[in-house]
A and B are shown apart, each in its own frame.
Chain A
Amino acid sequence: MSTLTLITAGPYSTIQDKGRTGQQALGVLEGGAMDKDALRIANHLVGNEDNAGALELFMGGTRLLVSEARMVSLAGSTADNAIIRSKNGVETLLPSGQSACLDAGAELFVPPLRHTNTVIIAVEGGFDLPLLYGSVATSANAKLGGLDGRLLADGDVLPLGPAAPLSPPPLILSDLSIFKKNQIIRCVTGPQDVWFTAEAYHLFFTSEWGITPQLNRMGFRLTGPALSHKASADILSDGIVCGSIQVPGDGQPIIMMRDHQTTGGYTKMATVISADLAPLARMRPGLFLRFNAISQEEAEDIARQKEEKMSALLASLRPV
């Protein structure tokens, strides 16, 4: 059996795919890659299906090797690179948006990330891990999926799926602009925008919001002017989507990310549109963002346009 060994796992590394849907009524979280654009591109670069499981590295700092030569790829950053060190010590760069062959015994090192929060490392053949509700995605807070539902640790050995008889050549994505951050985050107001005062609504859309270090797979806490509620911050619990911007009693927004709980009892001012979730996930602590309101119909159109752009990008991958 071919394996991948994590010599150094990194602070918050997990196996991710697109996540699991259809079971949220039972409390099963969606999970899935924070940067789904990166997941899809990384998988294509090594000839995998869109939804194959891949490594998500939060903050980087990961060193790994494989037991048998495999194509590997890095995606999600406009500027972070990985380094491949061959058995005889020769180092080559693996830039974001490219794939290369990792020989048995060679090491792949991802230095601490500087331009984004997460990157994806895809490995040809994916990972041979049990599916839970159709997905290998890890939600460590709910102990779901991946390797025993937990964060990857130093020394973990992960079984790889079978490689194709003929490996794809090293490929390159020539335009990395898909991995950009967005300082203007588009959102659709609601579902509970009327629970806020008119002043809070105005402040929400006109203020700069700081990304705080309280940022993880569950959510991003923002800092800015306090948003006041007309009467209460608490509602009778309802369902939550990825991108929901909930505002508890302290008036500071929390954007719910991939490992968001399935239901919650806080008022939600607005929802980040699906096309801006990956660019938002790349925003590092200390950066600022602004919210721009659009209609649900406009957001749906943007999602469709983004899908066309993504299809064109995937078709544009060329041999290095």
Chain B
Amino acid sequence: MTSAVWLPAGDTGLLLDFCGYASAETDVLPDDDVRLAALRQARSLSACLAEMKAAGKIDGITDLVPGMTSLLIHYDPLVTSAQHLKTQINLLMSSQKNTPSSSGRRWHLPVLYDNDVGPDLEEVARRTGLTSAEVIARHLANELEVAIMGFLPGSGYLTGVDASLSLPRRSVPRTHVPQGSVGIAMGQTTIYPLDSPGGWNLIGKMPVPLFDPARAEPIMFRPGDRVKFFQIDDAEFTRLKQATSGGAMPLSPELIGPTDIIKASDI
């Protein structure tokens, strides 16, 4: 395993990079296994530090943001220093075990797939050499995982999509993607939590908003959540959409206990 590298992000951030830094000279992405080990470490350390922060065992951390191969530690320089945090965290890592970093939850999410709500469905089929029905079947086939969250409130990068559906982002991003749109790109899926610009290839739509400030729990996903899609029709889409009005939440996750990160070879 490559050792972690500490990198400064000004006087309020410390980036702990578990492997990505090595690709600076070559642009060669780390192997799947190395990348997943890094993601596992980032999530596990993030959970551990969050727990310590809540228990008052570490001071000055203001936020923790796992990335694909890294952990960004936001800190307050009036309370702590980068040097002090590095010492504390290095010590912690030398004794820390790679605890399961999953959320122990699985969402079964309804998706309407058609050309209206998924305007790229036919193009995805053409570019992958599949029929639209095959694209949908393969998108439904795998259990996915919320690898990290961002960049908008509640959105997640879902990994584990069938390799035959791996396409780059659209060369010209759309200026407007409607909330709920389900997109695929780079072997991942995302669901747009809000109307926003976006470049993913849109193949469907999910009726339940990922982010709704009116809900008791505004954000649905947590990093590590598992996701399995199922297909619905127009009538069911409309029914579920109505069931979300006024901050109501018609879905709940299945509790599945600790799991490990999904690897490409598991699929």
Contacts and interface: CB of A to CB of B under 8 A. Distances in A.
Contacts of B157: 237
Interface in B37-70: 46, 62-70
A191 B15 contact: yes
Contacts of A195: 24
B11 to A, nearest CB: 4
Given A24-B65, A241-B12, A132 B213 contact: yes
Interface in B1-41: 7-13, 15, 17, 20-21, 23-27, 29, 35
Contact of B20 (A187, A235, A296): A235
A268 B72 CA distance: 13
Given A21-B74, A262-B65, A27 B7 contact: no
Nearest to B10: A271
B213 A239 contact: no
A192 interface: yes
Interface stretch (B122-130, B147-155, B170-178, B232-240): B147-155
B74 A274 contact: no
A143 B194 contact: yes
Given A230-B24, A238-B17, A239-B67, A27 B8 contact: no
Interface string A256-286: 0000011110001001111100000000000
A21 B25 CA distance: 34
Query: Interface SS of chain B: helix, strand, loop or mixed?
Result: mixed
B35 A236 contact: yes
Given A231-B25, A300-B82, A27 B154 contact: yes
Contacts of A296: 8, 10-11, 82
B207 interface: no
A189 to B, nearest CB: 8
Contact of A307 (B21, B78, B82): B78
Contacts of B66: 25, 239
Q: Categorize the interface residue count of chain B.
A: 35 or more
A199 interface: no
Given A26-B153, A28-B153, A274-B77, A188 B10 contact: yes
Contacts of A141: 196
B151 A261 contact: yes
Nearest to B7: A191
B69 A236 contact: yes
Interface string A132-145: 10000000011110
Given A231-B27, A236-B29, A300-B77, A241 B8 contact: no
B249 interface: no
Contacts of B223: 25
Contacts of A143: 194
Interface in A222-263: 230-232, 235-244, 261-263
A241 B9 contact: yes
A252 B193 CA distance: 29
A23 to B, nearest CB: 8
Contacts of A149: 213
B82 A27 contact: no
A25 B152 CA distance: 10
Interface residues of A, number: 55
Contact of B78 (A26, A142, A304): A304
A238 B64 CA distance: 11
Given A27-B154, A28-B219, A273 B20 contact: no
Contacts of A142: 152-153, 194
B63 A27 contact: no
Contacts of B10: 187-188, 241, 243-244, 271-274, 296, 299
A271 B13 contact: yes
B13 A27 contact: no
Contact of B8 (A235, A238, A271): A271
Best-buried of B9, B20, B62 by chain A (most CB within 10 Å): B9
Contact of B222 (A26, A264, A307): A26
Interface in A101-145: 132, 141-144
Those 10 A-B pairs whose CB atoms lie nearest each other, nearest first: A239-B72, A271-B10, A238-B67, A239-B65, A231-B27, A263-B150, A299-B11, A261-B151, A191-B7, A236-B68
23 contacts: A25-B46, A25-B149, A26-B221, A27-B155, A27-B193, A28-B219, A29-B153, A30-B63, A191-B8, A191-B9, A192-B7, A231-B27, A235-B20, A236-B20, A238-B65, A243-B10, A263-B65, A271-B10, A271-B13, A275-B11, A296-B82, A299-B11, A303-B77
Interface of A: 21-30, 132, 141-144, 149, 187-192, 194-195, 230-232, 235-244, 261-264, 268, 271-275, 296-297, 299-300, 302-304, 307
Given A27-B152, A271-B8, A271-B9, 17 more contacts: A21-B63, A25-B63, A26-B221, A27-B150, A27-B155, A27-B211, A142-B152, A235-B23, A236-B69, A237-B150, A238-B17, A238-B20, A238-B69, A241-B10, A261-B152, A300-B82, A304-B78
Interface of B: 7-13, 15, 17, 20-21, 23-27, 29, 35, 46, 62-72, 74, 77-78, 81-83, 148-157, 193-194, 196, 211, 213, 218-219, 221-223
